[in-house]
Homo-oligomer: A and B are copies of this chain.
Amino acid sequence: MNLKAAPVRLSTTSADFEAEFKARLHWSAEADAAIEQVVADILADVQRRGDEAVLDYTRRFDRLEVDGMPALELTAAELRAAFESLPAQQRDALETAARRVRTYHEAQKKASGESWSYRDADGTLLGQKVTPLDRVGIYVPGGKAAYPSSVLMNAVPAHVAGVGEIIMVVPTPGGEKNPLVLAAAHVAGVTRAFTIGGAQAVAALAYGTRTIPKVDKITGPGNAYVASAKKRVFGTVGIDMIAGPSEILVLADGSTPPDWVAMDLFSQAEHDELAQSILLCPDAAYIERVQQEIDRLLPSMPRAEIIAASLNGRGALIQTRSMEEACEISNRIAPEHLEVSSSEPHRWEPLLRHAGAIFLGAFTSESLGDYCAGPNHVLPTSGTARFSSPLGVYDFQKRSSLIEVSEEGAQALGHVASVLAHGEGLQAHARAAEMRLRSPKP
């Protein structure tokens, strides 16, 4: 094997930088019309035929010949058995990761997910009541990208939020179950689990069938069919973000061992050919050393072919004029994962406005965050960090405004509401306010 991984080399001082940069960044989430049609048909069919349709598609797409829906449910005992069958080291790692993820999300709930209220001078009470969702569905991909860590990252925040029932779906093509995924479901406190996937699983969760309970929200990553299905059922149920290929951006000032940076770029590239790894650094010599480490380390990587395809197709090593400029470019990219591989990460962090997760300092490899540091690894991709956030406790809660207007308050507010309502031509609104006045309008 004579594999070579050579991410494109760009420099911000080059005349054609803008064009090359934009070309490299471009990734289109545009829907594929053929996929859209297939998904629309599957959704309609599951809505109409329920369990029967789910069974048909599961037979067809996952080659699962079962005689009824009960055979597609994973029992609590089965999940526990999967956990108990693991080597001690894996059991401990799963439990440690779950504990750390739980602690972080408990802090998150405390910081931003509690009910609040206040009374104004008129005695009017205003606030918000924060409550958990009743029932959520978490989608866990099967096959080659079956990640037990994703089970933790979806189920633990739901649990911390106080969600009553967590329904997991995970396809098991050909009947192959991933014991780590089942074990993670046990550790994370999943309520019920079904071995279904694809658009049919999304439909079953969104509409409910005789066997699959209808949920209030569906979270978790999936392939293009799953993404299209989630987008279509949005409104009937809540959904989290639509995930694109994973990305890492490393901002380096040259102080981190270059083999660490090379491996961090690999750790993103190994996900799939469309994953994107970018290095931004003002130091040309350091960039060269990272490339040398890429060359040295690549042959030893079991997933070398995927890594090479990703780095050659979508990777970039970009020399910037300064770290400040690197921060600006990072803001334009709004990366999912942003490593500030610098000896002074807190100097640059305030300049970084858009990113899913920011990893500060050389010791904070993205992979520590992916598995067990505590924060969620479900993060906004493809620049959506400009407007969206990591999956969190807040995704499994909703808010209700609380308003209690005192008799006194109704006097002050009534006149304002009356004027504005008349201005909008909504006279019943105005009169409802006026009726509460002690001296009603003539």
| Residues in chain A within 8 A of chain B (CB atoms) | 29, 89-90, 92-94, 96-97, 100, 103-104, 107-108, 111-114, 116, 118, 120, 124-129, 131, 133-134, 146-149, 180, 216-217, 231, 234-238, 241-242, 257, 259-260, 263-264, 266-267, 269-271, 301-303, 307, 338, 345, 349, 352-376, 379-380, 384-390, 392, 394, 398-407, 409-410, 413-417, 419-421, 423-433, 435-436
Identical chains in the assembly = 2
Q: Which residue of chain B lies nearest to A386 when distances are taken between CB atoms in the complex? A: B216
Indicate if the CB atoms of A403 and B133 lie closer than 8 Å: no
Complex CA–CA separation, A368 to B429 (angstroms): 8
A-B pairs with lowest CB-CB distance, top 4: A238-B387, A360-B404, A266-B428, A375-B401
Complex CA–CA separation, A180 to B234 (angstroms): 34
Complex CA–CA separation, A266 to B433 (angstroms): 12
Q: Which residues of B contact A216 (CB under 8 A)?
A: 386-387
Q: Which residues of B contact A125 (CB under 8 A)?
A: 360
A interface majority secondary structure: mixed
Q: Which residue of chain B lies nearest to A152 when distances are taken between CB atoms in the complex? A: B420
Using known A-B contacts A386-B398, A410-B363, A426-B267, determine if residue A112 contacts B107 with beta carbons closer than 8 Å: no
A315 to chain B, nearest CB (A): 13
Complex CA–CA separation, A167 to B178 (angstroms): 49
Indicate if the CB atoms of A387 and B217 lie closer than 8 Å: yes
Q: Which residues of B contact A368 (CB under 8 A)?
A: 403, 405, 410, 413-414, 417, 433, 436
Complex CA–CA separation, A125 to B369 (angstroms): 12
